[in-house]
Amino acid sequence: MKHFPVLFFLIVSLNSCVYAQQSSGVLTLEDIWTRNTFADEGTDDIRSMNDDECYSTMHYTEQGKLLILKQNYFTGKITDTLFSQEKASVPALITGYEFSPDESQILLTTGHEKIYRHSFKADFYLFDRKTKSVSPLSAGGKQQYPLFSPDGKKVAFVKENNLYIKDLASGKEDQLTSDGKVNAIINGASDWVYSEELDFDRAFEWSPAGDKIAFYRFDESDVREYTMPVYDSLYPSLHRFKYPKAGEQNADVRILVISLPEKEITSIKTGDEKDYYIPRMKWTRNNNLLAILKMNRLQNRVELLIADAESGQCHTVHTEKSETYVEITNDLFFLKDGRHYTWSSEKSGYNHLYLCSLEDSSETALTHGNWDMTQFYGIDEEKGVAYYQSAEESPLQRHIYSVHTDGSGKKKISSAPGTNDAEFSRRFRYFVNTHSDANTPEDIAICRPDGRKIRVVADNASLCKTIKLFHINKKEFFSFKTSGGIMLNGWMIKPPGFDPSNKYPVFFNVYGGPGSQTVTDSWDSRSYLWHQLLAQKGYIVVSVDNRGTGARGTDFKKCTYLRLGEIETADQVEAAKYLSSLSYVDGKRIGIFGWSYGGYLTSLCMTKGAPCFKAGIAVAPVTDWKFYDSIYTERYLRTPKENEEGYEISSVLTYTGKLEGSLLLIHGTGDDNVHFQNSAELVKKLIASGIKFDSFFYPDKDHSIGGANTRLHLYSMMTDFILKNL
């Protein structure tokens, strides 16, 4: 994310206030999407430094040159300029950086080139803080995911699907693998589906002593290709990439360990199964022991394997099973004592953190209760204290807690109601608390580990003042009980000058996918402002978290297993009926909008849920789960062969003949995630049924449908559709 100096924000905020004072206080789409009317301050990418007293931040000059500054946690004082692009010969815009372990070198990212939603390649430069010299990491093509060795003397990286290392003293570049090939073999980087659904891109790790590298090898040779046209020339080109759909062949995945400098490769023996996932890999504190999470294709069994890096032999130290599926997290952490590790599990019915023994099966529950731990921040091993975030007070809120590693002494260390998130310094001496609520932008403060606030980094005071100049009604929370006795949570924004004796149309915002939430006491940025704009135009804007969503335990979250869309649609229909019962709601004018899984639910609500909704906008929807990827889809539905009825029930295409009301279908033709095929198939079915609808496509745009003027165009079109049809 691009960050700007404080002076820039002051200028933007000043201009925003002047604009607002000159306006009528009525929001426009230009305010939200093209002007800087609602610019926020951000956090300037705070990164803890080795001394645990300071952090680094990125700033840009007005000329777009990068500054990396060192600031004191306690005082906020800038103590050093760690890098200045104006004084260093780096030719391009710098978009990121990483320190070497001793912070003597800085790896700079330029020429960022997006591959898919999370993955990218770039040109990297090494900056030596002592000599002030700058040198390219590698020549002959862009690189991916460079990582310093533990001693900082080497950098490993991926280039053209092969793994390389560079010796920084000699400048020698060494190629470690040679079989990498596009759409066939990937060494050290993840394939499409691992990147999207298992949330990692760099697929290699240095051993603690830096004499070994463990890495993933993906063999995609037998995975079927998906082809997308790219409208870039007189004759459009074709983009081909490997995408395993539900029930189809996945890549063959292996873990290899290469010993340096001999380049001897050991294959880790993870078992005889051929159809499984390796969602995580990390070194223990022992230089010869590698931890691997192995998950079966059904994703209802996960084993923690400890592998001997020299022999490749493994043994299982922990197994987690579920009647549905096991969630994969980043909560695995090995303690310095070499005997314990942390593990999060939903086996109690709620997600909680455990301290487990590597030597036997004993474990200690660090958290427990009828609430979900939502994030694990780490352990201060010197004090024996673990830090985490949870929804203990409410599914709508998030607070930060500490607890001793024996499970005693739990303490809430965040105080403000709403949503709190923490980023701790290296040795847990400080943390940055980012707080917001449903109607208040983020404020960022430096705190002591006991929660005492030291100072405010950013409070977005200017943005708050700007918001007050517009006709904004606060987001209000509500709950209601369905006909089946289930309590659901929602929020509502009423029009300015709301009169309960009048009748108002209602516009739903929905996502509703497994484990997600739209109903939280947190700032929703531009979506919040668009909803306020619709409220100014006379609509009540609403969102309801159906069953299947998160922070309410496993029974609530996993009840949609094997039959996606059925319960979720029923709950959104129940919400529409509940709102229709309110004296100030026009029950004949209820609309719905959603993106991705929300587009899927919108499509179901307009068909299977008819006639409750008068109008709907479905953006980039899944319309049949057989078109979506293997990992996500099978986690909730298993394979099409195993659950034919579930796929039929879950498909929008099953219900197209029931469509009532006005539907606007939107998709990007370059969507590598939810393929344009989903909307094309829905259009074919609607045409075959003789049903009228509206549709719009964005050439070459991916799942986010953004860039340049695109978002303004998209939201202008959607707003016009709502005004016309609702």
Q: Which residues are catalytic?
A: 596, 671, 703
Q: Are 532 and 439 in contact (CB under 8 A)?
A: no
Number of residues that this document lists for the chain: 726
Q: SS3 letters for 138-152?
A: CCCCCEEEEEECCCC
Tokens of 431: 């943390």
Q: Are 144 and 120 in contact (CB under 8 A)?
A: yes
| CA 637 – CA 247 distance, rounded (Å) | 10
Distance CA(514)–CA(123), nearest Å, equals 37
> In angstroms, what CA-CA distances link 254 with 147, 201, 330, 366?
21, 16, 20, 33
DSSP string, 394-431: -TT-BEEEEEETTS---EE---SSSEEEEEE-TTSS-E
**290 vs 309: CA distance, rounded Å:** 6
Q: Which residues of 504-525 are buried (b: 16+ CB within 10 A; e: fewer)?
A: bbbbbbbbbbbebbbbbbbbbe
Q: What is the sign, positive or negative, of the torsion defined by CA atoms of 128, 134, 138, 144?
A: positive
Query: Which conformational region is residue 637 in: left (phi greater than 0), alpha (psi within -120 to 50 degrees), or beta?
Result: alpha
DSSP-based three-state secondary structure for 647? helix
Where are any strands of DSSP class E within 557-661?
585-595, 615-619
CB neighbour list of residue 235: distance below 8 Å, 6 or more residues apart = none
Structure tokens at 718: 């959607």
CA distance 124 to 208: 24
Nearest 5°: the CA angle 114, 116, 118 is: 85
Q: Are 115 and 124 in contact, with CB atoms under 8 Å apart?
A: no
In degrees, rounded to 5, the angle at the alpha carbon of residue 361 between the alpha carbons of residues 359 and 363 is 105
Distance, in Å, from the CA atom of 638 to the CA atom of 533, rounded to the nearest integer, reads 41
Residues 282, 291: Cα–Cα separation, whole Å? 5
Q: Are 633 and 246 in contact (CB under 8 A)?
A: yes
Residues contacting 178, CB < 8 A, separation 6+: 162
Q: How far is CA 641 from the centre of its chain?
A: 30
DSSP 511-549: ---TT--S--SS--HHHHHHHHHHHHTT-EEEEEE-TT-
What sign for the dihedral angle of Cα 405, 408, 409, 414? positive
Tell me the one-letter amino acid at 661: G
Nearest to 654 by CA among 607, 601, 600: 607
Q: How many CB atoms lie within 10 A of CB 378?
A: 16
Helices 597-607 and 566-580, packing angle to 10 deg: 70
Closest CA to 436 of 396, 393, 404: 396
**Spatial CA neighbour of 190 closest among 115, 291, 275, 124:** 115
Give the residue from 387, 383, 361 showing the smallest Cα distance to 374.
387
